[in-house]
Amino acid sequence: MDEGPNDATPFLPERKSLKALREAARVCRGCHLWRNATQTVFGEGQKKARVMLVGEQPGDREDREGRPFVGPAGRELDRGLEAAGIDRMDAYVTNVVKHFKFEERGRRRIHATPKRFEIDACKPWLEEELRQVEPQAVILLGATAAKAILGSSFRVTKQRGELLESDLAPIVSATIHPSAILRAPDGATRQSERTSFAADLSNVARALNG
């Protein structure tokens, strides 16, 4: 349901810094997703990180711990970054939506894809993160993040791993969300997806290194 103001702008702090933004985001009521989520999951990483990785939204584990990419998908991300030679300590990780959207099935909370108005409501936080970090490279993880930033016509399946023209940063690319690796139907497919994911990240690493 379309509830609430659907705009996080009124919750942005006057003083713009990552610390101030993180504190302000804790009480964001810019859309209705805060009602069911445990907490806001803001971005995490170095203030002037060379690489910013942007996913869709926090998952169940992230919602409980309050940190991005700490669950199974986060482990796949770490594996891909290591294979590509990108130090996660030199990266800033975040999501386009800062609250976990889910459906309850018994005792499980199952991921539900954010709607456009929910993504738009949360976008002011991401825009400020980009201004504060000023990354040399932005990597969009998954279709939801890519479409939110690059437009609804963008297709990750067709352009994954490519270096894209964008005002976001000098280097911009998009690939699958690491959770897609976990959904692979068998071990062989999963390994193939891991290899392709690492290759996409490696394209960015090479560009960063000149």
Give the tens place of pLDDT for each residue, 115-131.
999 999 999 999 999 99
Report pLDDT for 4.
Answer: 59
112 closest CA partner among 74, 157, 65, 57: 57
Q: What is the DSSP string of 52-101?
A: EEEES---HHHHHHT-SS-SHHHHHHHHHHHHHT--GGGEEEEESS-S--
Which of 5-9, 13-17, 71-75 shows the lowest per-residue confidence on average (mean pLDDT)?
A: 5-9
Residue 76 pLDDT greater than 80, yes or no: yes
Give 210's pLDDT tier (boundaries 50, 70, 90).
confident
Percent of the chain exceeding pLDDT 70 equals 98
Phi, psi (5° rounding) for residue 103?
A: -120, 140
Report pLDDT for 1.
Answer: 45
Q: Which CATH class is domain 9-208?
A: alpha beta
Spell out the domain ranges in the chain: 9-208
